[in-house]
Chains A and B, each alone.
Chain A
């Protein structure tokens, strides 16, 4: 088992919480992990990524080589595209469709969605709206994690247990909301409405999950 996962987003969106859930689940499952993350000034509203590698054998490099990420998991659609050089030929993209427009030249959202559709098999998730239904827009990251979870190499039970461990100190209510968000996301990829093949000249998939 070997999974290379590139986590992407904008500083403050909670990608390190997503990483922490997967880290805990992997460790508890007896797997090795290396998770390189960004600290410091670039966290403030800037593009943030984390390289997460999970394996049952020794992991050497903390960084994923180019074209070797099995999954790009992004909580912001344009940020999903920033890391395409790392995506493996058979890699998938799971991304939220909620843009963070904190720059003056944010591109047209439809063009971004189109580029993701062309790039790889994908799930585009209406994460913020679904998170609101699950209790709070702050859970958007758990919606995306849930949707991406089948490609992490980790069991949903192990991931849920990790959510409980991570958010436990914040109280039962927060834990339950995060679990609900995770399950909503997971449902999206389980109920056949999940992965859309990369658009070819013939097929253009316009429907959003």
Chain B
């Protein structure tokens, strides 16, 4: 069997195709984006008509995936951890309705916040929804487990949560693929009451979910993802997901003989854990993310012999690595040298020639003269406007929060109340906030940084490219207060004038700074050039 060189995220995409999905639904977010991108560019996606375009946000994605499952077909839904908050309403209720065709929800957590606002641990959501959670340790396991997860979902008639972390998602290795399974036939749910969550049905469905819990626990006890690696020493390690790799790295490097209980399927296998802890004098709990299992294990075994993130044996935040595990096991090593003081920080920056640079120049020119000069902002490339040399924005909380925070500040009497939000973020969750502001006739100015793409995650299609003006008009923003500007040096004076006018307007105004992302423009030119050189090969 051929080894495919794939990222962990890509391995999930490959597995989902090989498991016979009929569609993938997702909103891009690091470190989950490459799952969907892999499916989009796979030849079998076109060949088998697998639905794969981007959704407006994670909630619409998960609901559509549930609809495909209702119709009897297999669907994959992917997002980053914070996206699960957006989709949480649908997520918890999908556990109540259950599924028809297999539904796997792949959620990529980001311990150490490599590109996120928080570290939250999706395993907690899995427990909250009471569905099986699978947490592979290697990229090959990601592939194999994803294939298995669809069968598990259909067998249990429940959605399955696949948890991965940045490290697993963004590491590349050779992956063995299985032969592909055919897609399910269309077979809509025959008991639609399952999906009608009026209280009488919901209670029945909730009881069914509770009744399934012993079955889920039994499956964890016998899962191949949960297994014991024997050792002679009395101090043992319980290693979860990717943390297993760091533990084995240390065991191998230092020739240790510690027993390791490796866990990759939840709900936690209580019997297995209890047996393991009883045979150990001390136990280190190694899990990437929150001390979810450690809290549980402490409840079983009492505090004194359990060590982990809660007692400081491991750091409470940040991703784990082999060095931290070695230290927690009391292995003293020569300390690594500090980084020399000559090495300066090199933070990310807006690309050379990016239109956001010209937009922020105009915003700063207007806002620096205001008593309240703060600008609410959002999540995207333009968040880099918070760093020098711009220092132009003063909030970035969650997707869409720029608009609604500006609205709340306007309610509080703050003038001007100015928001900056990207085109993709606006369609993800800015639209509804703008509608609230229109209904309340707030004096807010919403600046849409429209670069016609979802740039921060690598240039995915943006849901409403070319239609932002119509959307704003449609939800009630007055036509004369929707202004479109082109962020270019030569337009600076004009842009400042227009921005100043709209900020002075005592109602809702929208200023769209429209200019294509430089990266996307370059990519377009390159592919046109390549097409010219080799028209057949690049036609797809």
What residues make up the interface of A, taking CB atoms closer than 8 Å to B? Answer: 10-11, 19-20, 23-24, 27, 32-47, 59-63, 65-67, 78-79, 81-82, 84-86, 102-103, 105-107, 111-112, 115, 169-171
Contacts and interface: CB of A to CB of B under 8 A. Distances in A.
Given A37-B170, A38-B170, A171-B533, A85 B337 contact: yes
Q: Which bucket holds chain B's interface residue count?
A: 35 or more
B245 A61 contact: yes
17 contacts: A19-B172, A33-B173, A33-B174, A34-B172, A36-B170, A36-B171, A38-B114, A38-B170, A39-B115, A39-B458, A47-B346, A63-B321, A65-B321, A82-B343, A84-B340, A85-B338, A169-B537
Contacts of A40: 30-31, 114-115, 456-457
Interface in B322-346: 322-323, 326, 333-334, 336-340, 342-346
Contact of A46 (B245, B253, B349): B349
B344 A39 contact: no
A84 B346 CA distance: 16
4 tightest A-B contacts by CB? A46-B348, A40-B30, A40-B115, A85-B336
A61 B138 CA distance: 9
B350 interface: yes
Contacts of A62: 167-168, 171, 242, 245
B344 A65 contact: no
Highest count of chain A CB atoms <10 Å: which of B30, B249, B530: B249
User: Chain B CB within 10 Å — which of A33, A44, A62, A86 has the most?
Assistant: A62
Contacts of B256: none
A61 B165 CA distance: 13
Given A61-B245, A61-B321, A170-B530, A44 B348 contact: yes
Contact of A78 (B168, B252, B344, B534): B344
B208 to A, nearest CB: 40
A103 B346 contact: yes
A45 B249 contact: no
A39 B170 contact: yes
Contacts of B533: 171
Given A27-B5, A102-B346, 7 more contacts: A34-B172, A35-B172, A59-B173, A61-B249, A61-B321, A82-B343, A102-B349
B351 interface: yes
Contacts of A66: 323, 336
Contact of A84 (B333, B337, B384): B337
Interface in B126-185: 139, 167-168, 170-174
B409 interface: no
B347 interface: yes
A11 B348 contact: yes
A66 to B, nearest CB: 4
B190 interface: no
A41 B336 contact: no
Contacts of A35: 171-173
A102 B246 CA distance: 35
Contact of A44 (B246, B337, B349, B537): B349
A36 B114 contact: no
B3 interface: yes
A17 to B, nearest CB: 13
Contact of A103 (B115, B339, B345): B345
Contacts of A39: 30-31, 33-34, 115, 170, 458
Contacts of A170: 530
A41 B384 contact: yes
B62 to A, nearest CB: 22
A21 to B, nearest CB: 11
Contact of B342 (A23, A41, A42, A107): A107
Contacts of A79: 346
B512 to A, nearest CB: 23
Interface string B517-537: 000000000000010011001
B349 A45 contact: yes
Contacts of B87: none
A67 B333 contact: yes
Contacts of A171: 533-534
Contacts of B366: none
A37 B5 CA distance: 14
B381 interface: yes
Contact of A115 (B252, B323, B340): B340
A8 to B, nearest CB: 11
B248 interface: yes
Contacts of A81: 339-340, 342-343
Given A61-B322, A63-B321, A115 B346 contact: no
B249 A65 contact: yes
A35 B8 CA distance: 10
Contact of B245 (A19, A44, A60): A60
Nearest to A11: B348
B349 A32 contact: no
Contact of A32 (B174, B242, B326): B174
Interface in B238-256: 242, 245-246, 248-249, 252-253
B236 to A, nearest CB: 18
